[in-house]
Structure 1
């Protein structure tokens, strides 16, 4: 079962911020394209507030079919279309990927990429990522590193592609969660706060290359 024009979509934004991840927004399909779905800008029903989405944002979506059955799929924001009203273009899912069970973080992949970090107090260090995605990254840090939840970090990550090219992707991100490991080290989970659409697309491209590799193993 695939959603149709005028069907309502119920949307959650995949985020390390628990408050944001728990918010649900509603939209409506305005058009269907070969590779994408156009929808209205999502709205939070309780507050009437429109949700500002960014290219690469990862979304968990469901729509209802007969009997109130929820049909889930994961997607991400491809871009926008300006018409009489502003519309959001999201990736059209494969029919076989639509299911009755919600799955999150499909666009995040495990990857040990080199990342340079600068804190608000001008502490600089280089480490490795634990995973990367269109909405943020996680990286390892030493136990004594003075970083707290809510801190804003300036970073760049070195992204290698299958064709041999390398890209430096700069961004600013906020620490949304810190995980303590048994060996004393920590994993810092960042949500992107300032990243250009072009740089975000470089990370998304890398994630899809990695997913393709995983599927073909």
Structure 2
């Protein structure tokens, strides 16, 4: 499940700060990671040995997992690395769907519905790694459970990320005189989910800074 190149999201147990990194190597009871990047400042951080962490990742099967770990050492070489403790298999737990991070945000999204022969641009109402809700133009009304393709633009701190995603229409809804659709992402890769999770965390941090959340 854990493998070289897998992207991890780390949460400091003491401060709640979140970081991203990748697994550089795995040996016996040690996970070697590159130096983490702070999701809020986009700068490299230096964690202390003994620091407790919550570690999130998305498996190849597109299932989010979490485990508890701590920094156990450093590896100084051509590429400096931190060493994390390896969890016991029973301590790696699935993150329930209700725990998915969802944020209210307006993002540009292009939608194609092959069954209805419809194409449109729309704006999201909210998004999580599992799907999003969008406001549709009045002349666009796909069928429930219809599948389609989306081009989503994520404005991350490190730059814009363009994701091409498959989706299915879960339901249509009316709100404030607007027609909307709840979309569930299908067959997303671990990397795509990680990009969306990172965007959601960055948005939460931004809202906290503005005093609008938490």
TM-score range, shorter chain: 0.5 to 0.7
Ranges of 4+ aligned residues in structure 1 off by more than 6 Å: none
What is the CA–CA distance in structure 1 between the aligned matches of 2:161 and 2:105, rounded to whole Å?
A: 15
What is the CA–CA distance in structure 2 between the aligned matches of 1:120 and 1:179, rounded to whole Å?
A: 21
What is the CA–CA distance in structure 1 between the aligned matches of 2:94 and 2:99, rounded to whole Å?
A: 15
What is the RMSD computed on CA atoms of the aligned residues? 3.3
Secondary structure of residue in 2 paired with 1:35: strand
Offset of 1:192 from its aligned partner?
1.1
Which residue of the partner structure matches residue 172 of structure 1?
Answer: 166
Residue-pair matches, total:
135
Offset of 1:156 from its aligned partner?
1.3
Offset of 1:182 from its aligned partner?
3.6
The verdict on how the C-alpha distance between 1:37 and 1:211 changes in structure 2, with shifts beyond 3 A counting, is closer
Does residue 1:162 correspond to 2:157, yes or no? yes
TM-score between the two structures when normalised by the length of structure 1: 0.53
Identify unmatched segments of 5+ residues in structure 2: 1-51, 67-85
Q: 1:101-142, CA deviations, whole angstroms, 9 ceiling, x for partnerless residues?
A: xxx466110111110100023321111111111110111102
Q: In 2, are the aligned partners of 1:36 and 1:90 still within 8 Å (CA)?
A: no
Pick aligned residue for 2:143 from 141, 145, 148:
148
Secondary structure of residue in 1 paired with 2:169: strand
Does residue 1:115 correspond to 2:109, yes or no? yes
Offset of 1:178 from its aligned partner?
1.1
Secondary structure of residue in 2 paired with 1:143: coil
Does residue 1:136 correspond to 2:155, yes or no? no
Offset of 1:37 from its aligned partner?
8.3
Q: In 2, are the aligned partners of 1:170 and 1:195 still within 8 Å (CA)?
A: no
Identify unmatched segments of 5+ residues in structure 1: 1-32, 39-51, 59-80, 92-103
What is the CA–CA distance in structure 1 between the aligned matches of 2:91 and 2:114, rounded to whole Å?
A: 36
Aligned pairs (5 A) from 1:10-159:
34-36=53-55, 54-56=62-64, 88-90=92-94, 104=98, 107-121=101-115, 122-159=117-154
Secondary structure of residue in 1 paired with 2:53: coil
Q: In 1, are the aligned partners of 2:147 and 2:168 still within 8 Å (CA)?
A: yes
